Structure 1
């Protein structure tokens, strides 16, 4: 009757992340903990480096419950900093250094971060004293980290996660068999909660974390070669990236034990294609991983072994160990088997709540009436699901406007709030538009001065929002359609006409440029593109860039580097690279 419980296993619910990590240091000090390019860091070295930085953080006032911003790129320094923050008693707040400065400031302010760690602090600590860990007691219910998700009110929400929630995710669990022989790929942005799975799945079991460079991740052939070269055993990919890789290099995952895919709905055709490969040409296990940030990365996982010919979706699976799922009606009563309902999640993986937002915390984290633990709360996901006859949960859709774009949660309202600050815009609406390549944001704007187009809208947003929150298209209109009640009719805005070519665009001048421009415009859904137009300013993103470069290399038997295109994302640069290889 709508209540599903994962197995109960003896995970270290009364311990802390530094304590479990310390046990691995004692057990295998010389084992390699992190591989980052040419850097091979053992458990003993990582322990010592993080201890030194932890002592430095203590001198700067870091202690229990203190939030510490970590402004570092993916790599071994980031891992050192995170461990140091926890050993000092604090909670880490990872902030991508590539985010706009204003976004960084907002996140650190909202998290109430008292200290920020950059590369300067890591280097300063390397020459300081303190080879042993500070004498700090860290409770299992202490705050471990704060991660931000998009917020409908115009500002991101900081999700507070405790130590025991992370331990529930990776210790004594049943969806992946972690151990010292695990080689886990680190591909996620640290501000994305899949990073929690990667980092602690390796370090709390004596395994090795392999940092895969971003360009390698986004280059089909390079990704497969890197996974094979490092003999990676387990990795997580967003659904969007998985679909891209399967379309171009379906043999990339040979040799993996576990390939977890999630962050959004898994593409049925891509999953079926992978399962159709012979066993030696695919990972041993394909898993659909589901879980909001508010329930610590994964709450539900499903082993995907086959898909019926008429399957319209990939089931998300069953609750993982020490996790409960409730499918409830609007009155919070469990629904009968086979009926639709909203998914609520309970158990020790449920986060503490949102930083500085008690009302929203109370709304999204109500008391759990089905739990045996006093004071337990559950998380209201806003996702509609159904329990199938085989006991697996099936995702049906959202109850609100929230959407996943390349694995990231995006609230259109947050984008609207940022764009509304543009001085040349009188009225606007940001809606979600579905294309053959997935979801995209479209901004419909009414200019403050009739007949004029607001200048630099994309650049304006780029100063405040990460690139995956910037609309793919901007449509300027004299007014917005209204419903009979006087509200913006968002349904009428769903269909978007192809953007007309810019009158100032530089047209192709050679046959090669014309072919490359045609490939680019087709991919972006535009009538045409100029040879000097910026691919990203036209609505492109990293996954589309990966696909374009792959198509060009296949079409022209070229060796265009994704990095070269990202540095100069124009048709003119593509033409030069293709010509050079001829």
Structure 2
């Protein structure tokens, strides 16, 4: 049994030395090159600081081969890596570094200037270019960190905080190993797969891509970011490099469906389509399934705090456009509790907060015990021994088929005209309207009205939308304000940027 993520790489290095592990535009790295380069860099890092075990090392680099090499190098030191968004505003980077106080920051020469603007100690900033000179003799004699246990942290990813201060989710090796072993076995993923990476490396969906590659000997293709702006070119690229598996945010799939690109472009190599990170529009998923019936479609659900994903659903039955795609059932070695307002288990078709227990749970938020204790709490069902659960803040219910159905965020529940309403339920109905490309429903607390933002290729009058929605929803759930946009704003992860829309609504 593996207790360290690098045991994956050591095994694939042994089995697939010369096979391509990573592709980044016109550059490639074999498994041997990935391993040896990472070990060489780890040796250089330890020369600068010999006490890196279980210590944070930040990686401030563009999305690239160099980023993954740096992550792996950090693991070889015995420390844990922290991916930072190199495009993030300097104030946010400063806030994260203030919480983290990393032992070392790996960056490049062009980005180092940005870090120096926030007066971070220059002696803790190292340039990637100065590290990549591995000594072969040192590499051959290198051994994995000693005295390592699987509860040691592997990485820390900072997510948005409700207070405006980012929270660093700390994930141990064992949680990633448990998840990756399950995914590899459940979906029969091996060395023949070519994985198309969309997720930024500071977003936890990328963990799925990186460690499936290391554990199976498959290849990860870092898809050029600009292709996601031009979906036709994106599909051509998939065919060009023969990508047969990907895990993308639904917005990308929705965009392809809106342009009806699958009417003309075939994707003969694609076998497995994973999606997650936000709600998938059933209407757009049905477009994909109609035009590409052969691939397996898997809806993945899970907050960063539960190691990528903890619940999944293989789409095998027909789902009407106006219904939600289930998020399904728990992954192996994970248990879910749906707790009502009385902290009791919800009955079938009764909504409640989704709570998760098992080895997938994060260690907590780095240097933030207050926030950690708010959501990593004692299981209220278990009164006899200590057992932590993670309260996701997501409202769900179990349907008659035993499938978990996502409704909305707990803070997306509103009281309107005396009714308790889940905005997610309205969005499901809205996304069933053919004319729309995308949509988002928010609540204006000051004006006490439900607001619908939407995008479409042609001008759509609010009256037309209202007429269709009253056939699907009670009148008290129909939005009173309709705002058409040229396109929906997206955040760095490719999801609808609700914060931007909220700010626009409140101004």
- TM-score normalised per structure 1: 0.67
- Of 240, 248, 269 in structure 1, the residue corresponding to residue 283 of structure 2 is 269
Could you list the per-position Cα deviations for residues 237-261 of structure 1 after superposition, in whole angstroms to 9, with x for gaps in the alignment? 1112211111112356542111111
Give me the whole-angstrom Cα distance separating, in 1, the residues matched to 2:191 and 2:234.
Answer: 23
Q: Which secondary structure does the structure 2 equivalent of 1:57 belong to?
A: helix
**Map of 1:139 onto structure 2:** 149
Q: Does residue 291 of the first structure (1) align with residue 302 of the second (2)?
A: yes
Distance 1:123 1:521, change over 3 A: farther
Of 2, 7, 12, 1:19 maps to 7
Aligned partners of 1:77 and 1:119 also within 8 Å:
no
Contact 2:283 2:322 in 1 (8 A): no
Contact 1:234–1:257 at 8 Å: present in 2 too? yes
Which segments of 5 or more consecutive residues in structure 1 lack a partner in the other structure? 1-11, 404-433, 443-487, 499-518, 526-536, 547-582
C-alpha distance 192-179 of structure 1, shift in aligned 2 (>3 A) = same
Contact 1:275/1:305 (8 A) holds in 2: no
CA distance in 2, matches of 1:371, 1:139: 28
**Equivalent residue, structure 2, for 1:125:** 131
Q: Distance in 2 between matches of 1:60 and 1:283?
A: 52
Q: Deviations over 1:411-459 (max 9, x none)?
A: xxxxxxxxxxxxxxxxxxxxxxx996333889xxxxxxxxxxxxxxxxx
Name 1:104's counterpart in structure 2.
Answer: 93
Mean Cα deviation higher: 222-231 or 114-123: 114-123
- Aligned Cα root-mean-square deviation (Å): 3.1
Q: Which structure 2 residue ranges, 5 or more long, are not aligned?
A: 110-126, 415-429, 463-484, 495-507
Cα deviation for residue 363 of structure 1 reads 1.6
Preserved CA contact (<8 Å) 2:353 2:392: yes
Q: Which residue does 1:217 correspond to in 2? A: 228
Separation in 2, partners of 1:112, 1:374 = 35
Match of 1:199 among 194, 198, 210: 210
| Cα separation, partners in 2 of 1:265 and 1:36, compared to 1, 3 Å | same
CA deviations 1:145-170 (Å, max 9, x no partner) are: 11111111121111111111111111
Which whole-Å CA distance do the structure 2 matches of 1:373 and 1:47 have between them? 46
Residue matched to 1:314 = 325
- Is 1:91 paired with 2:105? no
Call closer, same or farther: CA 1:386–1:157 in 2, change over 3 Å: same
Deviation at 1:136, TM superposition (A): 1.9
Q: Name 2:18's counterpart in structure 1.
A: 30
1:356 and 2:367 matched: yes
Which whole-Å CA distance do the structure 2 matches of 1:172 and 1:142 have between them?
20
Deviation at 1:135, TM superposition (A): 5.1
SS at match of 2:36: helix
In the superposition, relative to structure 1, how do residues 275 and 539 fare at CA in structure 2: closer, same or farther (>3 Å)?
closer
Q: Alignment partner of 1:131: what SS?
A: helix
Query: Which deviates more, 361-370 or 43-52?
Result: 361-370
Q: Distance between the aligned counterparts of 1:496 and 1:350, measured in 2?
A: 35
Cα 1:232–1:371 change in 2 (3 A) is farther
Q: 1:51 to 1:308 in 2, by over 3 A?
A: closer
Indicate how the Cα distance of structure 1 residues 494 and 124 shifts in structure 2: closer, same or farther if over 3 A, else same: same
Residue 378 of structure 1 corresponds to 389
Q: Secondary structure at the match of 2:11?
A: helix
Aligned with 1:227 (options 238, 261, 264) = 238
Q: Which has the larger radius of gyration?
A: 1
In the alignment, is the contact (CA less than 8 A) between 1:263 and 1:289 conserved in 2? yes
Q: Secondary structure at the match of 1:400?
A: helix
Superposed CA deviations along residues 61-84 of structure 1, whole A, max 9, x for unmatched, are: 251221111111122111100000
Residue 439 of structure 1: aligned partner: 440
Aligned residues: 422
Q: Secondary structure at the match of 1:171?
A: helix
Give runs of aligned pairs for residues 342-421 of structure 1, distance below 5 A.
342-368=353-379, 375-401=386-412
CA drift at 1:395: 0.6
Normalising by structure 2, we get a TM-score of 0.76
